Chain A
Amino acid sequence: MSRKLGLSIFLFSLLLCWTAAPLLAHHSFSAEYDGSKPVKVTGVVKKVEWMNPHIWFYVEGKDEISGKTAVWGFSAAPPSTLSRRGIKRDVLKIGDTVKVDGFLAKDGSSNASGGKITFADGRQVFTAAAEDAVPK
């Protein structure tokens, strides 16, 4: 992907964020995400926010279902839930290539819930919050 195209996509993503319908954070899954709209994004981890009330991680890549390429913002369970599952905060590293299964935000942005992460070596971790729809 050329730098120019990447910049365009980033700017387009920003535009989406500005214009999209409001996204409610820290809310019930069904209010924020559409369990009938799965995404399967393969890309590179750009940023990880291991914080309450939900961790967020960003993956630049393509959704194989819609064909859309973007910097995807994935929200998942809080740090405490993940820690109790044995998933530590260094599980995701900048530059990792991952496939993320999740469900699209209802607001039409490039945000999604990120319920399952598959690493290049085939390892999988389930990062969905307790009440989130869990990808199969």
Chain B
Amino acid sequence: MKRTFEIRHIGILSVIATIIVALLAGFVLAQSVATKPVPRLPNGKPDFTGTWDHPRVADVSKDVKGRCAGETQGCSSISSGELSFTPLGKAENDKKDKWDYGAHCMPWGYVRSYQTPFPHAYVHHPDRLVVMWEQDNAFHVVPTDGRQLPKDLNELDPTWRGTSTGHWEGDTLVIETAGFNGRTWIDTAEHPHSGQLRVVERMSMPDYNHINYEVTMEDPKYYTKPIKNTRVFVRMKAGQELYEYSCAENNRCEGGNCTAADVQKQVK
């Protein structure tokens, strides 16, 4: 009698154990299929580290949907629409035969680097965000240690990509950038900007695979109202890294002047 009870008992326990194992396995499987949680820095803020694909934005006044620069799907950019120039800005925009700094392998500039036909990556630490663009293999450091841009922006040395600082508003990283040299364009459509350009970016992670990125460009010298693009970046597949990119490697007819060297490159 006692022996029969023990056997029955073991049988029930086995069924319960099997159910528990099956439930656990299902839970683990569901977790791995569902999106992973947003990664966090030691300070609890979202960690943007990774290789990210962004939309190729050739014209900041137009929308881009679906296609990313690095062949991933799901990127987008929604524009605030038509640009509104000041008379000075219009005169600059209407200039014919603008000097194409990109054709000379000069830096693409801050906002335009985020619009290139190539992805970018972040290395993120609590005190800084390091942006690495595949285009020209360029990098930019955004300190997030509490420092601020000077009150008088003229104190900043004018540079191609400006000077940035970042701070958190909840789980959104807000980056302010100023101190531009005014030699770049805000896009490949050759829309100009002056040295008074000021850029504010807001970045957040709705889930592991996406960054919501909003960029606002204000340049009172050239534009009467802010230009805003709201974009979605997509995390690239595990193992995908940035490539080497050397613009000067085989840049033809630099500056529009075909030289003997360019011609010699023709097949013989």
Contact = CB atoms under 8 A, between A and B. Distances in A.
A56 B253 contact: no
A60 B117 CA distance: 30
Interface in B217-268: 240, 243-247, 249-258, 262-263, 265-268
Contact of B105 (A26, A56, A83): A26
B122 to A, nearest CB: 18
B210 interface: no
Contacts of B188: 28, 131
Given A23-B252, A26-B103, A85-B71, A80 B56 contact: no
B250 A71 contact: no
B266 A17 contact: yes
B77 to A, nearest CB: 13
Q: Is the interface of B mostly helix, strand, loop or mixed?
A: loop
Interface residues of B, number: 37
Contacts of A53: 105, 245, 247, 249-251
A25 B251 contact: yes
A22 interface: yes
A24 B100 contact: yes
Contacts of B58: 28, 131
A33 to B, nearest CB: 13
B222 to A, nearest CB: 20
Contacts of A25: 103, 251-254
A49 interface: yes
B46 interface: no
Contacts of A58: 266-267
B47 interface: no
B262 A52 contact: no
B247 A52 contact: yes
A27 B103 contact: yes
Contacts of A71: 266-267
A27 B100 CA distance: 8
Interface in B188-233: 188-189
B239 to A, nearest CB: 12
Contacts of A23: 252-253, 256, 258
Contact of A56 (B244, B252, B263): B252
B179 to A, nearest CB: 26
A125 to B, nearest CB: 14
B117 A129 contact: yes
Interface string A8-40: 001001100110101111111001000000000
Interface of B: 56, 58, 67, 69-71, 100, 102-103, 105, 117-118, 134, 188-189, 240, 243-247, 249-258, 262-263, 265-268
17 contacts: A14-B263, A14-B266, A18-B263, A24-B255, A25-B253, A26-B105, A27-B102, A46-B267, A49-B265, A51-B249, A56-B265, A80-B245, A81-B71, A81-B118, A84-B71, A130-B67, A131-B56
Given A26-B103, A51-B250, A53-B250, 15 more contacts: A14-B266, A24-B253, A26-B251, A31-B100, A51-B249, A56-B250, A58-B267, A60-B267, A71-B266, A78-B118, A78-B245, A79-B243, A81-B71, A81-B118, A131-B188
